[in-house]
């Protein structure tokens, strides 16, 4: 089942992604270079993240899944560097907010 998910890191920052295959152990492709500086070496030794499915479908096209993913990125503001690790679409401030379907 295709889905859009949210990963929450121990510091409260989030990453929104999509999975077109419904793989249980897929945790996204957030850029490690953005995440690693936020955690000390000791914090990295016991590291817990949370994955939540925000939306899922058996019938959606890949394009629809990607569109909904962008809607969630914008509405949750996970592309705001202060709130999350998404870098696309580029953060433009509160004016970029949209509501997910």
User: What is the domain partition of the chain in residue ranges?
Assistant: 2-96
* E strands, 9-62, in order: 14-19, 50-57
2-96: which CATH topology? GIY-YIG endonuclease (3.40.1440)
Residue 95 pLDDT level (bands cut at 50, 70, 90): low
Give per-residue pLDDT as tens, 42-51: 999 999 999 9
3-class SS of residue 55: strand
Q: What is the pTM of this model?
A: 0.86
Q: How many CB atoms lie within 10 A of CB 15?
A: 26
What mean pLDDT value characterizes the chain? 90
């Amino acid at each position: 089942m295709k889905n859009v998910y949210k990963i929450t890191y121990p510091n409260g920052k989030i990453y929104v992604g999509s999975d077109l295959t419904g793989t249980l152990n897929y945790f996204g492709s957030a850029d490690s270079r953005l995440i690693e500086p936020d955690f000390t070496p000791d914090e990295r030794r016991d590291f817990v993240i949370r994955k939540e499915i925000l939306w899922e479908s058996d019938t959606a096209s890949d394009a629809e899944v990607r569109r909904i993913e962008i809607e969630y990125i914008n509405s949750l503001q996970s592309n705001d560097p202060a709130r999350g690790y998404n870098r696309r679409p580029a953060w433009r401030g509160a004016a970029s907010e949209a509501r997910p379907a």
